[in-house]
Structure formats: C-alpha cells, structure tokens
Amino acid sequence: MRIVDLIRKKRDGHELTVEEIKFIVGGYTRSEFPDYQMSAWLMAVILRGMSGAEIATLTEAMLHSGVTLDWSQLPGKKVDKHSTGGVGDKTSLILAPIVAAGGLFVPMISGRGLGHTGGTLDKLESIPGFNVNLPPERMREVLSQCGMVLVGQTEQIVPADKKMYALRDVTGTVESPALICASIMSKKIAEGIDALVLDVKTGSGAFMKKEEDAVHLAALMVETGKRMGKRVAALITDMNQPLGLYIGNALEVTECIEVLRGGGPADLRDLSLDLSAWMFYLGEKTKSVEDGRRLAEKMIASGAAFEKFCELVSLQGGDAEALRSPKRLPQAKNQVGVRSHHAGHVQAIDCEKIGIASLVLGGGREKKEDAIDPAVGIVLHKKLGHRVGKDEPICTFHYNSDARLKEAESLIHASYRIGQEPAPAADKLIRKVIES
C-alpha cells in the first residue's frame, strides 16, 4: 500500500477498507510518512466525510495505537466527561474534583487547545509544576490515591491521537464529525471507564455551528460508546458566547477556583454542576440526575471539591498553594480595556473570533511547535443581552507583547454586534440530551 494512493482514494470520495485505515493510522503513528501527507489525507476526510464503518474502524485503529487502561481492581465506577471544544470552556477542572470528591473515579485523558478553542492540558500546565505526562503506573497511583487523574495522550496511550490532534490544530482539519468522534472516543475508551458524559457544543464558538450538526455528532459518539459497552449521554450545549468570563489558560484556572470555592459566574457554575450530576447518575452514585445535582452542590458547599483539586495538583507535581493564592499563577505584565465604539445592547457574539483573539495574544498555537503563553487572555465585561455605553470596556486584554494587539482588538470589535434594540440574554445552556 502507498499513502499517496490512499490520499487520492479519499480525495475522490471512495470508502477506505479496514486495512487501509489501519495502514494510515499505524504508519503515521510510527512516523513512516510525513506530516504533509497526513495533512492531505485529513483534508480529504474533511471534504469527503467518512461512512459509519470507516468511522468505527478509525476509532478502533486510534484506540489500539497504544495501550488501554484497566482499573477493574479499583473499587467503584470510573466515569469521565469530554467536550467537543469551546471558548472559555473549562468545566473539566471543576467537575473532575466534584465527582472524585463524591466517590467516583475520574481517569481523564484530555487534549490541548484545538483551533480557536482552549484545551484542558494547556490550562493545567499553567499551574506551576503540573505534569500532564504520567506513565500508566503513576496514573494508577494518583487515581487510587485521590480518585482522579488528569493527563494527556502519550507515546503509550492513544499516541495516534496525540500526533493527529496536534496536526489537525494547525491545518484547518478539525471540523469533521468523523475525526472528532474518533479522536474523542479513542481517548475515552482507552481510559477504561464505565460511563461517559459528552458535552457537545453548538453555536458560533463551536466546531458544529448548527444544532443539527451537533446532534449528528452526538449520536455518532453515543452509538460508538454503546457499541463498546459504555453508558453514555450527550448534552447539546450552547456556545454562542464564551462560557464564564475568563478566556486564557491561567485566567481560566482562576475562574475554576472561584467556582470550586462557591462563587464564579452562574453559567459556568450551572453547567459544571449539571455535567457532574450526569456523571454521578451514569456512574450509579445517585438514582437520578436531580440527586446527582444535589450531591455536586454539596461537594462545592462543603469545600470537598476544592480540597480534592488541591490534592490532585500536589500529586501531579503542581504548586497547590497557587490554588489557594491565585496570584501565584502566571500573570501577564499588561492589561488594556477594549472599548465599545457604540452604545446599545449586545445582540450577538461571534464567539470563534474571541477564541482567535486570545490565540493571537499568545494563548494558542498557529504552528505545531509554537509555545503558548499561559498568562495571557481576555476577561469579558459584556455578554449577550448586556447594555453597553459608548467607550465602555467590552473586555480587558491581559498581554505580554503588543505585537498583535491591534489585530486582537479588531477581532473583538468584529465579534460583538451591538444594536439599539434591547436584546435577550443567552439561550438556555442545555438544549437537548441524547442517551444511549
């Protein structure tokens, strides 16, 4: 087999066989062909799509590119949550400690920033010393000791996703239901979990802008999980504006700490509690989602979730004191407000542009080898439905270099539609639930 023939086959819209897909995934993981050929193949998939059978094979090939984890000797259910990606989407850092404090195991494998969206690993690495690259033996120790572990794909665990994810990030090849399903489900099945909650984002800041596309992606992932014997539910949630107020790695950690300490913005707190509730329910800790929500609220009110997060950070080499005094997290040298050109009400937000503005400030990557700046980002002052005065700040940039400040500012102005009519606040956060 030759990779160039398989690129052409997908380019021309034909279905690939099991052997061909295994050849592509295995060959790329072992570096038998270069990034430019894999990029061409990924782009062909974006343009031509994949059949259900191709998606199932791709998911399994990625899953078996490394080892799968087995926690059967740990007493209790193992559950996880994964999001398809959004702006300011930081719920993992809140719900994992809630659910671990509530008595379930959370062995979470996450990703880095992807396209205009942020990534859990980059957020965690903004905590000084935090190590997301643990070998399976150390994962086991951390998980059994504190009920949760937060890591990335490694050379041993879903290495195919590690390589393909980094390549997709910078080649415009994220927005494919097939690639997203295989990327997420290969990681989640490799984790050795019993149940999974999917947060499938829809709206201007999501990869699936239209709700019907999000529902299609959710159904694909729920079906894949069910075939693999997992209990899965997908929540279709709104991403027409950033979640919470903070965007950027260390800033988002700060906002998560606020929620874990009983404060924080209502939308972020509510979605984190609802996702935790579903995890408790699917993990059979509670008899209903409503009971799960009550348990989640209790874990915050008692301080147990915050203490769990501190414990986890210490176990993974991080500075837990930085959670108690967030000023110890990386801080940008400069701050500047971005002022509105008009008075009125916020009618709409092109949320993807806000994600790109944060990336342009240094919070994301444009090339695989780019280093990100953990301190930079955006603090929003105005969200959907809010009144804005002329020259009033819409948001504040936290930045270290002014090289691309103007570009980031233009993106913010282009993303906010401010009109005279009073505008409704955001749609409800959870639009639909799809269960297996």
293 belongs to the catalytic site:
no
The yes or no reply on residue 184 touching ligand URA (CB under 6 A) is yes
Integer-rounded Cα radius of gyration of the chain: 21
Residue of the chain from 37, 57, 91, 183 that contacts ligand URA (CB under 6 A): 183
Residue of the chain from 178, 180, 220, 243 that contacts ligand URA (CB under 6 A): 180
Residues in contact with ligand URA, total (CB under 6 A)?
9
Q: CA 169, CA 217: separation in Å to the nearest integer?
A: 19
Write the DSSP symbol of residue 361: I
Residue 394, judged by CB atoms within 10 A of its CB (0-12, 13-18, 19+), counts as buried
Count of CB atoms situated within 10 Å of the CB of 415 = 22
Residue of the chain from 24, 59, 77, 85 that contacts ligand URA (CB under 6 A): 85
Question: Which of 27-35, 125-133, 172-180, 394-402 is the region at the interface with ligand URA (rule: CB under 6 A)?
Answer: 172-180
The yes or no reply on residue 279 touching ligand URA (CB under 6 A) is no
183 belongs to the catalytic site:
yes
List the alpha helices (DSSP H) in 283-333.
Answer: 289-301, 304-315, 321-324
Site string for ligand URA, 127-166 (x = CB under 6 A): ----------------------------------------
Output the DSSP codes for 218-235.
HHHHHHHHHHTT-EEEEE
- Write down the least CB distance from residue 196 to ligand URA, Å: 12
Which member of 168, 188, 231, 353 is catalytic? 168
Site string for ligand URA, 105-124 (x = CB under 6 A): ------x--x----------
Which member of 78, 116, 163, 187 is catalytic? 187
431 belongs to the catalytic site:
no
Instruction: CB nearer to ligand URA: give 85 or 102.
Output: 85
Residue nearest to ligand URA (CB): 183
Which member of 92, 183, 204, 436 is catalytic? 183
Q: CA 413, CA 181: separation in Å to the nearest integer?
A: 33
161 belongs to the catalytic site:
yes
Q: Are 105 and 141 in contact (CB under 8 A)?
A: no
- Write down the least CB distance from residue 128 to ligand URA, Å: 25
Question: Which of 18-26, 177-185, 280-288, 302-310 is the region at the interface with ligand URA (rule: CB under 6 A)?
Answer: 177-185
Helix (H) or strand (E) holding 190: helix 177-190
Residue of 295, 273, 275, 298 whose CA lies nearest to 286: 295
Under 8 Å CB-to-CB from 372, ≥6 apart: which residues?
113, 122, 249, 362, 363, 364, 365
Would you name the residues annotated as active-site residues?
Answer: 82, 161, 168, 183, 187
